[in-house]
Structure formats: C-alpha cells, structure tokens
C-alpha cells in the first residue's frame, strides 16, 4: 500500500460525511416546507457548514376550478425550462400562480418544476407534447393527460386535476372525454394579447381586461408563457401587472 493512500481514503471519507450531512439537512428542511441551502467550505483539515438564507415557507392560496368575482389566477404555460421558469418564480415572489406544464419539459427540467412547487405554486397539466386535442381520439387524449399527471406526481407528490388544452384546442367532445375521467378544463379570459407582445402592450391589455371583468362581475384568468413567446416582454411587465391587481383589490388564487 502506497504512503499517500490512507490520506486519500480519509479525504473520501470526510467528503462522504459532508454529503450525508447536506442531504440530511436539505431533506429535513424540505419536509417542513422551507427548503434550505448549504455552503460547504474546507479550511485546513476541518470542514465547516454555513447555513444560507432559507427559501420562505410555501404560502397558502385558495385552490379553485375557476375564479369567482374579484379573484384572479395568474397562469403560465409551456414550461418548465432552465432559467426562465426560475426567473418567473423569483419575480412572482409571494404572489401565487399556476404553472401548466408539458410532460416532455418536466422530463428535461425536473428540478425546475420541483423548485416551482416548493415555492407554493400549483402545478397543473398542459399535456405530454402539446398536441391539438380536437385532433386526437379519446384514448390518446387521456394518454396525453395521464402520462403527464404521473410525471408531475412523481416529482412534486401531488397529482394534478386541472388541464389546459394546448392552443385552446377543445370542444364539447374533448370536454366530455376529459370530464368523464375526472379532469377539469381551464381556459383563460385575459393575459398577454399575443405571445410576442411587449411589456407595454401586456400592461395596457391587462388593465383593460381588469376593467371588463369588474364590470361583468367575472373572475379573471391571465395567460402568460414562461418558456415560449416574448419572455423578456412578459417578465418586464409582470411586476406592474401584479401591482395593478393588488392595488385594485384582486384576490390571487390558483387552480387545483
């Protein structure tokens, strides 16, 4: 046995102990609803663990099938994806939202959907690969929803009950098939005028939508996209949209 081998073995052992501590603390914090992050620093022969600021505990928001008068649901389609989904969650802060995720995207960016759910947001269904549901038969429609639902449940521990049809492609047949299987369909009545809209267009559009919904005593469902369309315009407009809604007394709800 070479002279250096015991030292190497000792280092491997110490690293294994540190890894176990990190996993144990993170798991414990996650179970309490307040994920923690650890910074590990080596100094000489010692290992120091420093607790970083923890993510705020998930906030409570009413879960609905459709918002009623005075309620608004912020919704984001087509995620999750690296960087953009996390940036959206960061900008939302303590404002609850619903993310309608695509199953294929969940497979590619599972950590993003876990992070989003850990911040208290609702994770719901936007099908497996974004097809037009009106063009599918019953078994394929349900396969799109059920496969995605299983992926979501595996990663966040909660099975979704609400779906949004891609492109708004739905009709009475699609609704009959999905409803019989226990699904609720969530469309929208506001949000970005177009996927490529800039921030000023989004802000003015939402202001008009708020006024119309108030006048008609309707709830408001705003559609945005975190992983497609003009992300820059959306993320720039989002703080102003949230401020306008709060100032006008809207209650934020999520689908579920």
Question: Do 138 and 22 fall into the same domain?
Answer: no
Question: Looking at the predicted structure, is the pLDDT value of residue 6 above 70?
Answer: no
Q: Tell me, what's the pLDDT at 59?
A: 62
Q: Tell me, what's the pLDDT at 61?
A: 83
Range of the domain at 36: 5-51
- Mean pLDDT of the residues in the chain: 83
Does 156 map to a domain? yes
CATH assignment at residue 210: 3.20.20.370
Question: Do 37 and 104 fall into the same domain?
Answer: no
Question: Looking at the predicted structure, is the pLDDT value of residue 197 above 50?
Answer: yes
Does 56 map to a domain? no
Q: What is the mean pLDDT of residues 166-180?
A: 98
Question: Looking at the predicted structure, is the pLDDT value of residue 20 above 50?
Answer: no
Does 17 map to a domain? yes
DSSP-derived pairing of the beta strands 220-225 and 190-191 = parallel
Rounded distance between C-alpha atoms, residue 77 and residue 79, angstroms: 6
Q: Tell me, what's the pLDDT at 3?
A: 35
Cα dist from 122 to 1, 118, 220, 222, whole Å: 56, 10, 17, 15
Higher pLDDT, 183 or 23: 183
Question: Do 44 and 17 fall into the same domain?
Answer: yes
Per cent of the chain over pLDDT 90 is 76
Question: Do 27 and 99 fall into the same domain?
Answer: no
Question: Do 75 and 104 fall into the same domain?
Answer: yes
Question: Do 37 and 158 fall into the same domain?
Answer: no
Helices (H) and strands (E) in the chain, counts: 8, 12
Rounded distance between C-alpha atoms, residue 74 and residue 234, angstroms: 12
For residue 68, the surrounding DSSP H or E stretch is none
The number of distinct structural domains making up the chain is: 2
Question: Looking at the predicted structure, is the pLDDT value of residue 123 above 70?
Answer: yes
Question: Do 40 and 122 fall into the same domain?
Answer: no
Question: Do 84 and 193 fall into the same domain?
Answer: yes
Does 99 map to a domain? yes
Does 80 map to a domain? yes
Does 160 map to a domain? yes
Does 137 map to a domain? yes
């Amino acid at each position: 046995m070479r002279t250096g081998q015991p030292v190497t073995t000792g280092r491997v052992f110490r690293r294994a102990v540190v890894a176990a501590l990190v996993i144990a603390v993170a798991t414990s914090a996650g179970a309490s609803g307040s994920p923690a992050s650890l910074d590990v620093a080596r100094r000489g022969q010692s290992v120091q663990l420093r607790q970083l600021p923890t993510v705020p505990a998930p906030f409570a928001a009413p879960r609905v099938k459709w918002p009623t008068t005075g309620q608004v649901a912020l919704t984001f389609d087509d995620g999750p994806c690296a960087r953009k989904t996390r940036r959206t969650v960061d900008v939302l802060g303590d404002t609850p939202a619903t993310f309608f995720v695509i199953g294929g995207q969940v497979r590619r960016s599972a950590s993003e959907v876990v992070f989003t759910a850990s911040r208290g947001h609702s994770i719901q269904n936007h099908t497996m690969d974004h097809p037009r549901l009106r063009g599918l038969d019953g078994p394929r429609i349900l396969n799109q929803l059920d496969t995605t639902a299983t992926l979501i449940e595996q990663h966040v521990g909660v099975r979704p009950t609400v779906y949004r049809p891609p492109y708004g492609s739905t009709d009475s047949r699609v609704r009959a098939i999905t409803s019989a299987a226990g699904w609720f369909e969530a469309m929208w009545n506001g949000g970005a005028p177009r996927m490529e809209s800039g921030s000023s267009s989004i802000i003015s559009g939402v202001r008009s939508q708020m006024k119309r919904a108030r006048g008609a005593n309707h709830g408001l469902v705003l559609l945005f996209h975190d992983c497609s369309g003009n992300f820059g315009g959306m993320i720039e407009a989002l703080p102003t949209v949230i401020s306008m809604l709060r100032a006008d007394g809207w209650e934020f709800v999520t689908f579920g």
